[in-house]
Amino acid sequence: MIAVANPDLGSAGAVAWNVLGAMTLVTAVVAGAVAGIVLPRYAATPVALIGWYAWLAFPLVLIEPWWRASTITGGGAMCCLPQEQLATRTLVTTLLVAGILLVGSLVTLARHRHLAATALAVLVVAGSTAFVLGRGGSETATEPRQSELVCRSGEGVDVCVWPENEDDLSAIVSSTASVTTDLGALGSRLPTSWSENPDAAGVTFSWSPDTTPEEQRGALALSVVQHLGCDSAGGSDVRSFVLLQSGLSQQEIDERFGPVSEQAARASSLGAPAQRAWIQQAVAECDGSSA
């Protein structure tokens, strides 16, 4: 459960997240020992198992952000889009709650009297901390990513990617340049700037190195459609035309992205001037600029 909740946090955040994972595991062991001492033998094991399962699994489906933000599984589940990172407040909340549970469990084990009262007090303090800190944070538990983009210019385009895609930057520049050239009919509507950060100017795209070249070109083409404001149902002709012009065959488009519109197929067979006139009008209609 902890392994699948690990978001991409950068070096500093990853260290804190790994510490949190270790703390959670150790706390589960110590709390289980506390349950074995405080509760009758027949009840200790099921209570410990059900309690920790509820604490880690229930936040994944709860609407209330305070509980989700106070556990490693809930915090990880709310994170993250490529342009986001786990909020510092959420990370601090999860660390603090896990720390309270761990220290409280150790204190309970060390005591020889009032064990049940001590264990209950620990749960109350941890729950109150989660409630107070969690309710004051964002419902998404994320914040804008602070990582610096890695940028490169070449082949007529300017491309910026997140650091994890830096090794593929040369291939990304070539792919975006090729798609930009193929979509020359769009003229000035298609900028030469591409970025993985949606707050940056130009075309916003997302790069997946594990996909095929055809899927990558298709994804870049769809990013152009979104940039043009034609990614709704009313932009199906523009979508089909851009996919065709990006170098994909009609069969590949039909299989991967849905059927090509007849109007787009006819427009793709026209000469360059006619194509330019057709796509300019189609874009103006779907983005509302012709009104």
Q: Report whether 230 contacts 244 (CB < 8 A).
A: no
Rounded Cα gap, residues 74 and 81, in angstroms: 15
Q: Reply yes or no on whether the pLDDT at 1 is more than 60.
A: no
Asked if the model's pLDDT at residue 186 lies above 80, the reply is yes
Please, are residues 26 and 33 in contact by the beta-carbon 8 Å criterion? no
Specify the higher pLDDT residue, 145 or 136.
145
Identify the band that residue 291 occupies on the pLDDT scale cut at 50, 70 and 90: very low
Amino acid symbol at 185? A
Question: Tell me, what DSSP letter sits at residue 140?
Answer: S
Instruction: Retrieve residue 205's tokens.
Output: 């795209």
Average pLDDT over residues 159-179: 91
Do residues 94 and 69 lie in contact, with contact meaning Cβ atoms separated by under 8 Å?
yes
**Inter-residue contact 217 to 175 (CB < 8 Å):** yes
Give the three-class secondary structure for 32: helix
DSSP, res 61: T
* Predicted local distance difference test score (pLDDT) of residue 47: 87
Of 100 and 224, more confident:
224
Domain ranges for the chain: 3-144, 150-287
Q: pTM of the prediction?
A: 0.66
Q: What is the pLDDT of residue 2?
A: 43
Give the bridge partners for 87, in sequence order: none
Mean pLDDT of 96-101: 82
DSSP class of 234: G
Q: Which amino acid is at 179?
A: V
Q: Residues 5-51: pLDDT tens digits?
A: 445 555 555 677 777 778 888 888 888 888 888 888 888 888 888 88
